[in-house]
C-alpha cells in the first residue's frame, strides 16, 4: 500500500520487452532498497527484482503494460517513485494500492493556479467525484470542484509540481490513473447485494 506522496523522481535507463512483458531499469536516489520489496513507479506497484548501485530493475507483466502508460516509457523518461507504506507511518495522502485502473490523457496544463485537465478512460468516470481523491502517476490529488465533458481537473501545489514528474507533462501526455478504492468497494457491495436480491 502507498500514500501517493512521491519520494523521488527516477529516470528510466532501459526498457527490454519480452514474451512475458518487459524488464524496466530505473536509476534513482532512493536509498536502502532491497530485492523483493515493493516500489510504486508512476503509481504502479512493482517488485524490485535486481539492484545495481543506484539502479534497480523490475519485471513488468503484460497486464500492467495493457492498463498503464509503461509501453510509452523510454530511456530518459522521468518516473515518480514511492516505497510501500511502513507500519506505523503517517498516511499523508490517501490509500493508494498501486494498481492502475487505466490511463488518461492530459488535455490542458493550467498555469494559474497550477493544475492539469485530464480526460480519463470513459470507464473510470463513474468512480470520480468532485473533491474526491485520485492518484495521477502515483501522486495523491483531489478532483476539482466541477467535472464536465468527460474531463476532470486537479490543482497542484508548487512543491508537488516541482518534486514530481507532473511538471514534465504537456497536452497529449498519457498518465496512469488509480481511482479511490472506496468507490470500487461501494460499487462491488451494491452489485453483489442487487445480485442476491434477484436470486
Give me the pLDDT at residue 106, please: 98
Identify the band that residue 27 occupies on the pLDDT scale cut at 50, 70 and 90.
Answer: very high
Backbone torsions φ then ψ of 100, nearest 5 degrees: -60, 130
Query: Which residue has cell 507500519?
Result: 87
Give me the pLDDT at residue 149, please: 92
Q: What is the pLDDT of residues 96-136, one digit of tens each?
A: 899 999 999 999 999 989 999 999 999 999 999 999 999 99
Give me the pLDDT at residue 199, please: 56
Find residue 151's DSSP bridge partners: 148
Q: Is residue 111 part of a domain?
A: yes
* Three-class secondary structure of residue 158 per DSSP: helix
Q: Is residue 148 part of a domain?
A: yes
DSSP run (H or E) holding 195: helix 181-198
Pairing of the two strands 115-120 and 102-110 = antiparallel
What is the domain-level CATH number for residue 123? 2.40.30.20
User: Distance between CA 112 and CA 99 in Å, rounded?
Assistant: 31
Looking at per-residue confidence, does 62 or 199 come out higher? 62
Cβ–Cβ under 8 Å, residues 9 and 165: yes
Q: Is 132 exposed, middle or buried (0-12, 13-18, 19+ CB in 10 A)?
A: middle
* Three-class secondary structure of residue 173 per DSSP: coil
Q: What is the pLDDT of residues 66-78, one digit of tens each?
A: 999 999 999 999 9
Cβ–Cβ under 8 Å, residues 49 and 141: no
Q: Which of 54, 83, 112 is the last residue of a domain?
A: 83
User: How would you label 82-100 residue by residue, b for 16+ Cβ within 10 Å and e otherwise?
Assistant: bbebeeeeeeebbbbebbb
Whether residue 113 sits in one domain with residue 65: no
Name the residue range of residue 72's domain.
Answer: 8-83
Give me the pLDDT at residue 180, please: 85
Q: What is the pLDDT of residues 149-197, one digit of tens each?
A: 999 999 999 999 999 999 999 999 999 999 987 777 777 777 776 665 5
Q: Is residue 88 part of a domain?
A: no
Give me the pLDDT at residue 85, please: 84
Average pLDDT over residues 81-92: 83
Whether residue 151 sits in one domain with residue 179: yes
Q: Is residue 193 part of a domain?
A: no
Give me the pLDDT at residue 37, please: 96
Count of domains observed in the chain: 2
Amino acid at each position: 500500500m502507498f500514500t501517493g506522496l512521491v519520494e523521488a523522481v527516477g529516470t528510466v535507463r532501459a526498457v527490454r520487452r519480452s514474451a512475458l512483458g518487459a524488464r524496466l531499469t530505473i536509476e534513482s536516489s532512493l536509498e536502502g532498497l532491497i530485492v523483493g520489496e515493493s516500489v510504486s513507479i508512476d503509481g504502479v506497484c512493482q517488485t524490485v527484482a535486481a539492484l545495481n548501485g543506484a539502479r534497480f530493475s523490475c519485471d513488468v507483466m503484460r497486464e500492467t503494460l495493457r492498463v498503464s502508460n509503461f509501453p510509452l516509457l523510454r530511456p530518459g523518461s522521468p518516473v515518480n517513485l514511492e516505497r510501500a507504506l511502513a507500519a506505523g507511518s503517517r498516511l499523508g495522502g490517501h490509500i493508494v494500492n498501486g494498481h492502475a485502473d487505466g490511463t488518461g490523457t492530459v488535455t490542458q496544463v493550467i498555469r494559474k493556479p497550477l493544475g492539469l485537465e485530464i480526460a480519463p478512460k470513459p470507464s473510470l468516470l463513474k468512480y470520480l467525484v468532485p473533491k474526491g481523491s485520485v492518484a495521477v502517476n502515483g501522486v495523491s490529488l483531489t478532483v476539482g470542484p466541477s467535472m464536465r465533458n468527460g474531463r476532470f481537473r486537479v490543482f497542484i501545489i508548487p512543491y508537488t509540481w516541482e518534486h514530481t514528474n507532473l511538471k514534465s507533462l504537456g497536452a497529449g501526455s498519457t498518465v496512469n490513473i488509480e481511482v479511490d478504492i472506496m468507490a470500487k468497494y461501494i460499487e462491488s457491495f451494491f452489485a453483489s447485494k442487487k445480485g442476491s436480491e434477484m436470486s
